[in-house]
Structure 1
């Protein structure tokens, strides 16, 4: 498993692949890989000749009140997990490689970025679109793989690709869960044993919403109220948001008549977790 740290070297390698007629899949990550990331790498491996996994803790998507330094990192684990899942190499640049002195150009999307995660993290998605845009230019992938757990991120990237005509197919892969339903996340490592148990209330509330929808409930307000009551039964849980939005535009809906995304963000102790599901797609 190769670990590449410079833009020059990754471009040279990908250029040779392209000359040989190979297709390239890209899996952008911030590292600390788990089975959820591996599922993306496996799908990329199944659909492409070569797979690049980027491991880069991107400082521009962290807000001023978020601790960049405490984000979990384990490059040896990332190498092992990537190799197991079929990656060809890892691109692991330094911050100075991606953002050299004098860097002052950003990509910013609108409409899908000001809601949900963007409401409380106003500069977050500008950092995401900028770094992903740079990775697309550096790696020149045929396909790029993102997880449904970060549904808003996938929607933002899809809009960027459409609007700026990137020749990349965006592939959104299903959420990978623990046996008890908790969505796999690098942030789960922050949870104590008691908090880990409390965190199950996220997936449990989503199951309630899904059941109501399957039984024909059309009122977004009624579904959100049921979810709110369920989560509030857990003393360690503090709701950030519960939303029912159009699957594409991410704008609120009152009456459910087409495909919707139901995303939630909940703090369990000091750890903020997100989860979601799509209904009617």
Structure 2
């Protein structure tokens, strides 16, 4: 595995395989790698000739009161895991290189970014799309691999790639979970041992609601109310949202249809968790 820190070096290394017509798979991460990230790399290894995994904690997607400074970082461990799953290149750009002094560009998809997680984090997705648009233009991969756990981010980035006309595929990889069903996330490290059962209730409740929605397609409001009550009973003290949405527009739906997604965001202690299931 090659470790690269500059964009110029990355372009130089990729020039030869690109000239040979080889496909390039890109796996974006913010480090603190877990099996969910490794699943993305494994999928890219199956489908592409060269796999680039980036490790970069994007400052643009954090609001001033969020956890940018305390976000878990362990470069040595992350690089060892990238090598374990045979990534060809680990790219560790710096914020100064991606966003040099005077950088003023913003790329946003407002119609998809202001709902769900965007209501409580109004600058978050613009930070993601600004970073990813620049990286995808610089890197020019054949495909980018994203996890379904961050479903709204997946939808937003699909729209960004489409609207910018970028010649690449956005490939979704199913959520990887702990034994108790909790979706793998770097922020799970914030959970206290006593909070784990409460956190695990999120996927359990979503999994119980999905078949009820399929069985009675017109009972969306009642089933969602039942889900909120079940989360509260499990010990969740704050629910940001629990909604059934259209899988492309993210608009709430009142009747179950094709491509719907059940999405939720909750707080367990000081940790915000998100998850989703297909309906």
TM-score, normalised with respect to structure 1: 0.96
Q: Paired residue for 1:228?
A: 228
RMSD: 1.1
Deviations 1:137-162 (A, max 9, x none): 12110000000000000100110111
Q: Distance in 1 between matches of 2:265 and 2:218?
A: 22
Provide the C-alpha distance between the structure 1 equivalents of 2:44 and 2:178, rounded to a whole number of angstroms: 22
Rounded to whole Å, the distance in 2 between the matches of 1:235 and 1:184 is: 20
Q: Contact between 2:40 and 2:145, CA under 8 Å: does it hold in 1? A: yes
* Separation of aligned partners in 2, 1:87 and 1:117: 31
- The DSSP-based 3-state class of the residue aligned with 1:28 is strand
Structure-1 separation of matches of 2:76 and 2:227:
39
| Aligned match of 1:80 | 80
Contact 1:198 1:237 in 2 (8 A): no
Equivalent in the alignment of 2:28: 28
How many residue pairs are counted as aligned between the two chains?
Answer: 279
The CA distance in 2 between the partners of 1:128 and 1:184, in whole Å, is 20
**Which secondary structure state, in structure 1, belongs to the residue aligned with residue 118 of structure 2?**
helix
Aligned to 1:122, what secondary structure does the other structure show? coil
2:128 is equivalent to residue 128 of structure 1: yes
1:263 matched residue in structure 2: 263
Q: Can you give the 5+ residue segments of structure 1 that lack an aligned partner in the other structure?
A: none
Cα deviation, 1:153-175, whole Å, max 9, x if unaligned, reads 01001101111100010001100
What are the superposed Cα offsets for residues 71-105 of structure 1, whole Å, 9 maximum, x if unpaired?
Answer: 00111111121122221011101111111111111
Alpha-carbon contact 2:210-2:278 (below 8 Å) kept: no
1:213 and 2:213 are equivalent in the alignment: yes
Q: Residues 118 and 125 of structure 1 are in contact (CA less than 8 Å); yes or no, is this contact kept in structure 2? A: yes
- Partner residue of 2:6? 6
Query: Which residue is equivalent to 2:194?
Result: 194
In the alignment, structure 2 segments of 5+ residues that lack a partner are none
Normalised by the length of structure 2, the TM-score is: 0.97
Deviations 1:222-256 (A, max 9, x none): 12111101101123542111111101000011111
CA distance in 2, matches of 1:105, 1:236: 39
Counterparts in 2 of 1:20-169, with a 5 A limit?
Answer: 20-169=20-169
